Amino acid sequence: MSEPQQQKWPMQHPDRIQLFSLPTPNGQKVSIALEELELPYEPHRVDISSGDQFLPEYIRISPNSKIPAIIDPQGPEGKPLTLMESGAILLYLADKAGRLFPRKAHERFEALQWLFFQVGHIGPMFGQFGHFFHYAKQQCDHPYPVERYTKETRRLLQVLEDRLAVVPYIAGPEYSIVDIAHFPWVDCLDVFYKGRDQLKLGEFKRVQDWMTRCKSRPAYERGAKVCG
């Protein structure tokens, strides 16, 4: 890291993966994966409520000013690698560890489509639901945004419900980074956004059972509150 980055986020273990994050759903995805994959890492809290994400030293790590981001001092070919975007980080970590993502081409592309489904739909739409239903109630009293994102969130939950009717985990028969990408966002609907009744989350029985299985893993307990 550069000197300004070192001053803001000093490294105690420069040989480890450096994680810059906060326990939001996107942040939890990476810390849970790091714990599950048993990759050595050093966490650094990026306080988005204080604007840390807009500091020049953080923008050098994450040009889009979002968390999480990582620096791997031992990246491909032994060269340091800096990565933003949680989906890309998950895929990189799984490949680095050789676990939690299919290796064969057919299964790999099937899993990739569901990883992209989370990145392109689950995260953005669930986030908009939470914004208008929970955080922006005082700023926007028009019913349209809540109605729109409630409907879309329930539609996406049904996609997951239907998928889990044919496979035990979202990418297929085994737990993977695809599940890690999804379940913090599903959990967020209830825990952070208080949307259980609004979304009728109890109607999605398979999703609820899958969530219980995902959250029962020891890596969840270790990883969910990293950088908190």
Give 4 or 111, the one with higher predicted confidence.
111
Q: What percent of the chain has pLDDT over 90?
A: 94
Q: Does 105-218 carry CATH code 1.20.1050.10?
A: yes
pLDDT tens-digit profile of 170-216?
Answer: 999 999 999 999 999 999 999 999 999 999 999 999 999 999 999 99
Contacts of 225 (CB under 8 A, 6+ apart): 23
Residue 1 has a pLDDT of 72
Contact 111, 172 (CB under 8 A): yes
CA–CA distances in Å: residue 117 to residues 69, 83, 87, 124, 178: 20, 20, 10, 10, 10
Residue 136 carries which DSSP code? Answer: S
Domain ranges of the chain: 3-100, 105-218
Q: Label the pairing between strands 69-72 and 41-45.
A: unpaired
Tell me the C-alpha distance between 39 and 205, whole Å: 33
Q: What is the rounded average pLDDT of the residues 46-64?
A: 96
User: Percent of the chain having pLDDT more than 70?
Assistant: 100
Which CATH code for domain 3-100? 3.40.30.10
Fold match between domain 3-100 and domain 105-218: no
What would the pLDDT profile of 29-54 be if each residue is shown by its tens digit?
Answer: 999 999 999 999 999 999 999 999 99
- E-strand ranges in the chain read 17-21, 41-45, 69-72, 81-84
**Torsion of the alpha carbons at 108, 110, 114 and 117, rounded to the nearest 10:** 110
Average pLDDT over residues 112-136: 97
Q: Residue 3 — very low, low, confident or very high, per pLDDT cuts 50/70/90?
A: low
Burial class (CB in 10 A: 0-12, 13-18, 19+), 56: exposed
* String of DSSP letters for 43-63: EEE--GGGTGGGSHHHHTT-T
